[in-house]
Amino acid sequence: MGSYCGSCLCGTVKFKVSGDFDSFYVCHCRYCQKGTGSTFAANLFSPAGSLLWLSGEDAVTCFTLPGTAHRKSFCRHCGSAMPGVEDSGEVLVPAGSLDTDIVIKPTANIYKASCAQWEADITAAPGFATLPES
């Protein structure tokens, strides 16, 4: 069984997930675009996993979009996406919140019909190891 640790950007929230991830979805729906401010969300799912807050649980806020099942947990101090437990009991973990490396590769790109028009141009843009100098 895997064990994964993560945290928010400001360091207030720290957590541990025990259990294996069975799927890794890259979601391009409009809700995920709005929730991340980017073209997709990258989320890991652990149906039999457990989530333990190591610190800052009281700083985690959950927003559910009215009339939908779309839910986003985040640190109220820095806005970082945080894990949550779905109504089904499955643990959802934003991949970028982990401090521990993962070996699972993305399972699928979902809601591709909603991709941002500029997403296809990302791989064609020049790449830099750090912020380029002006």
Q: Where are the domains of the chain?
A: 3-111
CA atoms of 69 and 75, how far apart (whole Å): 20
pLDDT band at 17 (very low <50, low <70, confident <90, very high): very high
Q: CATH top-level class for 3-111?
A: mainly beta
Would you say 23 and 45 are in contact if contact means Cβ atoms under 8 Å apart?
yes
pLDDT above 70 covers what percent of the chain? Answer: 100
- Structure confidence at residue 87 (pLDDT): 86
Task: Specify the pLDDT at position 24.
Answer: 98
- Record the pTM: 0.92
Tokens 């089904």 -> residue: 88
